[in-house]
Structure 1
Amino acid sequence: MSAELQRALALLTAKDHGSAVAAFDAVIRTAPGLVDAHYNRGVALRELRRNVEALQAFETALALMPAHEAAAQNRLAMLLELGRPEAARAGLVAEVARAATPDALTNLGLAEQALGHPDEARAKFESALALDPAHRLASWNLALLDLREGRWKEGFERYDAAWPGTFGRNVSRREMGRPAWRGESLEGRSILLHGDEGLGDTLQGLRFVAAVARQAARTVLEVQRGLGPLARTLATDKPIEVIEMGDTLPATDVHAPLHALPARLGADATSIAVASAYVTPPAERVLEWRSRLQDDRLKHVGLAWRGNPTHPDDRYRSMALARLRPLFDVEGSRLVSLQLNPTGDDVAVLAERGAPDRVGETTDGLADTAGLIAALDLVITVDTSLAHLAGAMGRPVWILLGTRPDWRWLRSGERTAWYPTARLFRSEGDWDAVVSGVRGELRGFVAGGG
């Protein structure tokens, strides 16, 4: 093994993936037929979520060594990541026929799930768990299946036990320096609750804080930076202390991440629902935005069309602003952009006649955004944290869902137990059809006075 390859492998082991890719590139320039360099370059690229390049690297390794099992498995996994389950399925069926390992069965289950075959997917995940009851990825995906089907109790329990069970999931893995709370009595004890996933997940999870605070002698809630002012408006029987990530963590007896609360509280279809808003924006922000929007003759409609580009499923959730052009000329409405940093082609579309006013870019933090949402008549958004913010505030919100909606929106239905003021508009693979339907509904909303 050359010194150059050793250095590249050391960088990969150290999780310096960007430097590792550059080092493997240097090795390949001098030894283009070195299988290990191509394969491990693919591994580094996969960690960087440069999935197209990773797929190419694994395919190059297989061209050089067709029997390279790890490259073959990673190639199939990349096909799944890239939304090509049909291409992956044939290879995965062959792999399971050759050796029905837990990994192979789980990957085949993922392909079946992506192809819209939930029963087949469930069977594969259960077969994987029969072979390895501790297989985290199979258990995680079975949890997501349960949740998508509204099997809340079973799903939340699996979700908690397997979390975080998916490659590249953007979650916090901090050591909290205190025991975990597992649902036992909190009488006379203190607890730290903390957000550990995305901002939308935290907003959704805030509904469970009051039930824990009711049991504990003292409750500290840690949320993402900027969310503190809204979290402090939570209605709880006992006062809670709210801090933001980066603040010093106070000593408590136990801790629990927000994602675990449904399982540890025994949540079901009844307890996940909320009757009304549970976060409130500062009144002065609402008044200021109402003053700035001014024209009471129009219905003010907030639009958000892109979420976090690093989200693993962003290609199924976000859309180009150009697709929303049919909404630009709905008489009696004024569109307001809620996007903070529009880029690329969206910027050009925002300059068109009837396009949303670029108001969202002027907001000063999350509490200000909440004030703006409170001043609007309606929010229309793809699946982003803004959907959760509007829902948690009890504001009318229409959520546009792609072909692979998140588990919380279930498989079907126009309403959701999570947010009673939300409507779901589902895509069957055609965003244009969804937007056309939204246009008709928006015209009715404006004409009917909301």
Structure 2
Amino acid sequence: MAYLFFLCLCCQEEYRQFEDLVATPVETMSRIYSWLGVSPHRINPEKLMVRPHESDSHYRHKYLHRQQRCISPPKPHEVPPRIRDLIANACRWYNDRFYPLGTPQYTSFSSTSIRPPLPEGKQMQQAMAYHKNGQLSEAAGILEEIVLHNPKSGEALHTLGVIAYQREQYQRAADLIGKAIAVNPDNAAYFSDRGLALQRLKQLEPALKHFDKAIALQPDLAVTHLNRGNVLKELGQGAAAAESYDNAAVLLEKQPESSDALHSLGLMAYESQEYQRAVDLIGKAIKLNPDNAAYFSDRGLALQRLKQLDQALESYNKAIALNSDIPVIHLNRGNALKELRQLKAAVESYDNAIAIKLDYATAHWNKALEQLILGDYDKGWRSYEWRWREEHFPSPRRNFPWPLWLGEESLKGKTILLHSEQGLGDTIQFCRYVPLVAQLGGRVIFEVEWPLIPLVEQLEGVSQFVAKGQPLPAVDFHSPLLSLPLAFKTRLNTIPFTQKYLVSDPLKVAAWELRLGPKIMPRIGLVWNGRADHQNDQLRSIKLLELTEYLPSGLQYVSLQKEVRPHDRETLELHPNIAYYGDELQDFADTAALCELMDVIISVDTSVAHLGGALGKSTWVLLPLIPDWRWLLERNDSPWYQSARLYRQEVEDDWSGVLERVRQDLLQMLMK
């Protein structure tokens, strides 16, 4: 409301009373939108929703109201003198700041006359000063006023576009800078900056053309060569990208006293994974220009890569102190806090990013992961729905023509498509919800990866299984598998089927029992790594050689992995006491049968860990210091699997403590 009050104050034709916004919101907001130069929006006060504890008026300090679900129009009343004085003082402040040639005389409370604004040149100077100091809102306000009076002010349009880019409003940035280019088609910086916005929008070919045009207009713009190289790299044109980087480096080396040149060289080092060099170069840029928030932010990223987390956090804090309006800095700060295991503070930092950019999908997604790992399932499942708008989410969004079902609509007499997402372990963990959906009276179609179909076809209530990639029938609703906890309002104490919800095929179990031979000692199933292309593979996987050092004799060890990496294959050859069946595991029904014959399954965080838990088998899960959200924190059990025991790292990247505890527990099992 304070922001709307400021808009009321700033409406140029006449100052609008804040009371007008409350009494006649439609008319007042239409005038404000018109003044801002955007399409008017119609507001229906009856549909403005408030939380139950909120008053039905924003003037709670003036008089009491009964609580209502919708905002009610306020009763007519006189404006108290105190409120009149506050508004009048605010008006005077506004004119003193933006109209220093003279403050208008107030002939009445609701009617004022204003002197003409400053000349455009001086306004532009003010705006650029604000922008340089990181005061984006103040700069944008003046620039909007310039454009209102002079729609062909290329400099104002371009700077507004740069501010939009800094706020991660990339389409708006491209549109504004496009207008600047239409005014001045010979400005290289305009083409270079619009290319950046197009790159963020994944319009890579148009972005490349803009960088080429900028270089044609001004060949010595090193940063343009650098950005051109980044686009070529994204396009998979490695040789051309390297040439662009070389051109940028040559130009930048000629500017040893330029902070921007040093910063750009630091970014190049960062892209080449030379993180210490990046820290050093950007540090030199900071010495030359200690008031640039972007420098501190980018140095924080490099420090974070070097695991110098406290220094990274300090760098982010400095960046925010210089400019608190850039959402990505708050995001990166939250990521550093997460690595420092200050998860509640990380959530606050993500919230700060979202406050600046309401539709910031990455911040919502990261926030969801922290809420879930903290056990806040009430908020976490709702935030988790932002995953589909996150650029780097591993599963593509399915643009089905059918509505999304999140538990609100009745399924009686309807058909619903449930479809898997993310990894195979996710499907195994959340297929427990499929029978619950079927119990709601609808017909269930389950689309799933083909290696899992022989395992999950035992699920009750499924009318049809479809292998992923095959044609789908028409349905009434669809729901991704990991949206079902939200649909069923799952909390830590209401997770369904925590004991066992999958069973092994008896015929396959019998076949594998023959394959294993007579049991003469306890059998231990081993899984030491997952998919090599998993984004957290380096954190969750263990080298087999390291694992073997902690495996006591007197036990029969069986690899439950289908695929083995080359260096681990050499270790297997040196340890014939670890049985390996590889390609004999045709699908997950085979893996489940082999799991059934194990006394204990020892697994890193991958699909077999979920399979063991779903089968109700004793499963020991080896977890990194910062685990995936589903394993929560600081507990050795799992609310998802009663048969699971969790072994957590105490020091990042150090498995020795985990494996020693596993060895001791195996020895205890031998003594029984």
TM-score range, shorter chain: 0.7 to 0.9
8 Å CA contact 1:170–1:311 kept in 2: the answer is no
Cα 1:405–1:281 shift into 2, 3 Å? same
Question: 1:316 — aligned with what?
Answer: 539
Deviates more, 1:18-27 or 1:89-98: 18-27
Whether 1:433 and 2:657 are equivalent positions in the alignment is yes
The count of corresponding residues between Structure 1 and Structure 2 is 439
CA shift, 1:297, in A, is: 1.7
- Secondary structure of 1:310 counterpart: coil
1:247 deviates by: 1.1
Q: Which amino acid aligns with 1:403?
A: L
Q: Using the TM superposition, give the Cα deviation of residue 191 of structure 1 relative to its aligned residue in structure 2, in angstroms.
A: 0.8
* Contact 2:296-2:319 within 8 A present in 1 as well: no
Instruction: State the shift of 1:77 in Å.
Output: 3.9
Instruction: Name the residue aligned to 1:33.
Output: 250
Give the Cα–Cα distance (whole angstroms) in 1 for the partners of residues 268 and 387 of structure 2.
23
Contact 2:601–2:612 (CA under 8 A) maintained in structure 1? yes
SS at match of 2:494: coil
With over 3 angstroms needed to count, the CA separation of the structure-2 counterparts of 1:286 and 1:268, relative to structure 1, is same
Q: Aligned ranges for residues 408-423 of structure 1 at < 5 Å? A: 408-423=630-645
The offset of 1:157, in angstroms, is 1.4
Matching residue's letter, 1:444: Q
Shift of 1:385: 0.9
Taking a change above 3 Å as real, the CA distance of residues 113 and 367 of structure 1, as seen in their structure-2 partners, is same
Separation in structure 2 between the aligned mates of residue 190 and residue 41 of structure 1, nearest angstrom: 57
Residue matched to 2:92: none
Pick closer, same or farther for the CA change 1:31–1:275 going to 2, 3 Å. closer
Amino acid at match of 2:240: A
Report Cα offsets for 1:18-65 as digits up to 9, x if no partner.
62443210223455335699999999999xxxx763858966985897
Match of 1:398, SS? Answer: strand
SS in 2 for 1:33: helix
Does the 8 Å CA contact 2:293/2:318 hold for their aligned counterparts? Answer: no
Q: 2:537 & 2:662 partners in 1: Cα distance?
A: 21
1:220 counterpart SS class: strand
Structure 1 residue 144: Cα displacement? 1.7
- Residue of 331, 340, 365 corresponding to 1:140: 365
The one-letter code sitting in structure 1 at the alignment partner of 2:451 is G
Deviation per CA, 1:265-322, whole angstroms, max 9, x where unpaired?
Answer: 2111233142432222322211111111123221111111112222222222111112
The answer to whether 1:168 aligns with 2:392 is: yes
- CA distance in 2 between counterparts of 1:84 and 1:22 reads 33
Distance 2:261 2:420 in 1: 39
Give yes or no for the alignment of 1:154 onto 2:379. yes
Q: 2:438 & 2:266 partners in 1: Cα distance? A: 47
Written as runs of structure 1 = structure 2, the 5 A alignment for 1:87-98 is 87-98=311-322
Q: 1:61 to 1:301 in 2, by over 3 A?
A: same
Change (3 A) 1:34 1:334: farther
Aligned counterpart in structure 1 of residue 273 of structure 2, from 32, 53, 58: 53
Post-superposition offset of 1:381: 0.6
Find 1:126's aligned residue among 339, 347, 351.
351
Counterpart position of 1:202: 427
- Aligned pair in 2 of structure 1 residues 163, 169: CA closer, same or farther (>3 Å)? closer
Which blocks of at least 5 consecutive residues in structure 1 are unaligned? none
1:183-262 aligned within 5 A:
183=407, 184-234=409-459, 236=460, 238-262=461-485
Q: Residue 416 of structure 1 aligns to which amino acid in structure 2?
A: S
TM-score scaled to structure 2, two decimals? Answer: 0.59
Deviations 1:62-88 (A, max 9, x none): 589767876764564465467553342
- The one-letter code sitting in structure 2 at the alignment partner of 1:53 is Q
| Contact persistence 2:262–2:284 (CA under 8 A) | no
1:356 counterpart residue number: 578
Q: Decide which moves more: 51-60 or 342-351.
A: 51-60
After superposition, the Cα gap between the structure-2 partners of 1:177 and 1:34, relative to the gap in structure 1 and judged at 3 Å, is: farther
Equivalent residues of 2:226, 2:248 under 8 A apart: no
Q: Which amino acid aligns with 1:309?
A: A
Shift of 1:386: 1.0
2:556 counterpart residue number: 334
TM superposition shift of 1:114: 0.6
Amino acid at match of 1:186: L
- 1:71-110 matches, within 5 Å, as 73=297, 76-77=300-301, 79-80=303-304, 83-101=307-325, 102-110=327-335
The SS at the match of 1:405 is coil
- Provide the rounded CA distance (Å) in 1 between the counterparts of 2:446 and 2:305: 34
SS at match of 2:249: coil
1:81-128 CA distances to partner (integer Å, 9 max, x unpaired)?
675533422221111111123321221111111112123223222333
- Residue identity over aligned pairs, in percent, reads 31
Sort the Cα spacing of 1:23 and 1:334 in 2 relative to 1 into closer, same or farther, 3 A: same
Structure number with larger C-alpha Rg: 2
CA distance in 2, matches of 1:247, 1:11: 39
Deviation per residue, 1:246-270 (Å, 9 max, x gap): 1111110111111111112211123
8 A contact 1:290–1:375 mirrored in 2: yes
- Residue 401 of structure 2 corresponds to 177
| CA distance in 1 between partners of 2:435 and 2:264 (Å) | 48
**Contact in 2 for aligned 1:79/1:88 (Cα 8 Å):** yes
Amino acid at match of 1:98: L
Q: Is residue 225–residue 248 contact of structure 2 (8 Å, CA) maintained in 1?
A: no
Residue 404 of structure 2 contacts residue 478 of structure 2 at CA under 8 Å; is this kept in 1? yes
Of 253, 278, 296, which residue of structure 1 is paired with 2:501?
278
1:259 partner SS: helix
Contact in 2 for aligned 1:381/1:400 (Cα 8 Å): yes
Partner of 1:377: 599
Which one scores higher on RCO, CA 8 angstroms, separation ≥ 6? 1
Checking the alignment, whether the CA contact within 8 Å between 1:194 and 1:258 is kept in structure 2 is yes
> What are the superposed Cα offsets for residues 147-197 of structure 1, whole Å, 9 maximum, x if unpaired?
11212222111112x214656332222222322113222222111111121
Q: How far apart, in 1, do the equivalents of 2:420 and 2:277 lie?
A: 36
Would you say the 8 A contact 1:147–1:410 is kept in 2?
yes
Q: Verify the 8 A CA contact 2:550 2:663 in the aligned structure 1.
A: yes
C-alpha change, 1:129 and 1:345, in structure 2 (3 Å) is same
8 Å CA contact 1:80, 1:110 repeated in 2: no
Q: How far 1:200 sits from its partner (Å)?
A: 0.8
* Cα pair 1:416 1:422 within 8 Å, conserved: yes
Q: Does the 8 A contact of 1:305 with 1:320 survive in 2?
A: yes
Q: Look up the equivalent residue of 1:171 and give its one-letter code.
A: S
Contact 1:153 1:266 in 2 (8 A): yes
TM-score by length of 1: 0.86
**Tell me, what secondary structure is at the counterpart of 1:227?**
helix
Counterpart Cα distance in 2 of 1:366 and 1:78: 41
RMSD over aligned CA atoms reads 3.3
The structure with the greater share of residues assigned to helix is 2
Flag the 1:186–1:8 CA change in 2: closer, same or farther, 3 A. farther
SS state at 2:434 partner: helix
